[in-house]
Amino acid sequence: MAGPAALAERARRRLVRAVRGPGWQRVDPLLAAKTVLAAVVAWSLASWLLTPGVTTFAPFTSLLSLQGTVYRSLWQSLRYMGAVAVGVMLAAGFGSTAGLHAWSLAILMAAALATMRLRALGAQRLQVPVTALFAFSAGGGQLEYSFQLLAAVLIGVGCGLATSVLWAPPLRHRGADEAVSTLSREVCGLLRGIADALRETTPDASQTRDWLDRTEKVGVLAQQARAAVENGEEAARLNPRRLIAGEHLRLPVHHTAVNILERVGHQAQSIARGLHYAVHSEHYTALARDFLTGYAELLADTAVAARELRVSEVRGGEGDDEELHEHLARGRQCHDRLAARSRRERLDAPGEWPLYGALLTDAYRILDDLGTSLPARP
């Protein structure tokens, strides 16, 4: 068990990280502080305006309505209010007509459980039978109590949403920026690594196996980047901070960059797999050095283009795509030369053409994917 000194040191490190930059060390304490504030204000207002029997519902509702983002807070609040309204109406209907009996409670619960199947209520569906049971047993299904209960819920939702909007969470676009940059660097490094190896020697099985492993990492990074972008988009929805930083948000174009880089990673995986299978081929030793050298230059251009894709996205202005255009054009010229030579000479070994054709096809698809990010030139 950690002693007081170790716990104090751990708390100090978390505090330092929270002060230095965004992260869960900062987000969690801020969310806890907002939750406490919303609950206290909701309880105070409910105690002042409503009867004691429903006061607890106000802070309880504020806890449920206050989420990590403004959009999620609003969405969950609407669902919760809908579930509470349905439960209160069921309780009031049965209480005012059938009275308080065991059999009427059974019918009420059956109706509430059936209403739980409404998909529009989402995760708040459970609140329908809970609210119905509470309003029926504690309030006797009386309309006055039901209105008081609904008022407490509205107070709690109002306090939670007001806290979420006035103390808005950060936009989280920096995390998305970093995730896309990491993905771009990994794709660029993978293509450059294959190019450097092909330029110097014919790769062996260990090298091709390492490239395949790196392509798996690209897939993982793509999933992480996409999740970071989606989280950033949710954090920006209805967030008043966006009015200040709206022009700096690059989340929409991030989606395009992640999709392109992920597809490039798939093509790089196909290249690595083709070379890995070729290691065990009887024609592998006959690989033409001039073809591999030219193909290495082609991959080097695609590596720089993958890096410039990210740079161009960050700059986001016209005229910033010049280097990306240049490397894609050079890559296409190199591809055309290699393809023409392969068709003209059919190479020396009869088993080489299928491998070269597959490698050229994968490289062409990479160039095509990277080119989709560019506006058409006149």
> Among the three residues 120, 140, 166, which one is the final residue of a domain in this structure?
166
How large is the average pLDDT for residues 362-375?
A: 81
Q: Are 122 and 186 within one domain?
A: no
Specify the higher pLDDT residue, 30 or 62: 62
User: How does pLDDT run across 148-206, given as a tens digit for each residue?
Assistant: 888 999 999 999 999 988 887 777 777 788 888 899 999 999 999 999 988 887 788 88
Place of tokens 């030579």: 341
Kindly report whether the global pTM for this prediction surpasses the value 0.75: no
Residue 16 lies in a domain: no
Residue 198 lies in a domain: yes
Which residues span the domain enclosing 140? Answer: 23-166
User: How does pLDDT run across 268-307, given as a tens digit for each residue?
Assistant: 999 999 888 877 766 555 566 677 788 889 999 899 888 8
The number of folded domains in the chain is 2
Q: Report pLDDT for 311.
A: 59
Residue 376's pLDDT band (boundaries 50, 70, 90)? very low
Q: Report pLDDT for 337.
A: 85
Q: Are 134 and 203 within one domain?
A: no
How large is the average pLDDT for residues 211-231?
A: 91
User: How does pLDDT run across 111-164, given as a tens digit for each residue?
Assistant: 888 888 888 888 888 888 888 888 887 777 677 888 888 899 999 999 999 998
Q: Report pLDDT for 240.
A: 81
Q: Report pLDDT for 193.
A: 92
Residue 6 lies in a domain: no
How large is the average pLDDT for residues 107-113?
A: 86
Q: Compute the mean pLDDT over every residue in the chain, rounded to the nearest whole number.
A: 80
Residue 88's pLDDT band (boundaries 50, 70, 90)? confident
Q: Report pLDDT for 243.
A: 72
Does residue 267 register a pLDDT over 80? yes
Q: Report pLDDT for 318.
A: 47
Does residue 225 register a pLDDT over 80? yes
Does residue 265 register a pLDDT over 90? yes
Q: What is the DSSP string of 153-203?
A: HHHHHHHHHHHHHHTPPP--HHHHHHHHHHHHHHHHHHHHHHHHHHHHS--
* CA 148 to chain centroid: 40
Q: Which residues contact 27 (CB under 8 A, 6 or more apart)?
A: 68, 169, 170
Residue 13's pLDDT band (boundaries 50, 70, 90)? low
DSSP-assigned letter for residue 121: G
Residue 327 lies in a domain: yes
> Among the three residues 136, 166, 196, which one is the final residue of a domain in this structure?
166
Residue 19's pLDDT band (boundaries 50, 70, 90)? very low
- Two structure tokens written together for 296: 């290495």
Q: Which residues contact 363 (CB under 8 A, 6 or more apart)?
A: 267, 271, 295, 298, 299, 302, 331, 335
User: How does pLDDT run across 300-359, given as a tens digit for each residue?
Assistant: 989 988 887 765 555 554 445 677 788 888 888 888 888 887 666 554 455 556 777 888
Picking from 181-185, 254-258, 260-264, 339-343, which range would have the lowest pLDDT averaged per residue?
339-343
Residue 15 lies in a domain: no
Residue 63 lies in a domain: yes
Q: Report pLDDT for 102.
A: 82
> Among the three residues 151, 166, 181, which one is the final residue of a domain in this structure?
166
Q: Are 240 and 322 within one domain?
A: yes
Contact between 261 and 222 (Cβ < 8 Å): yes
Residue 278 lies in a domain: yes
Q: Are 154 and 204 within one domain?
A: no
Residue 266's pLDDT band (boundaries 50, 70, 90)? very high
Which CATH number is 286's domain given? Answer: 1.20.58.220
Number of H helices, E strands in the chain: 14, 0
**Closest C-alpha among 294, 285, 289 to residue 360:** 294
Does residue 264 register a pLDDT over 90? yes
Q: Report pLDDT for 190.
A: 94
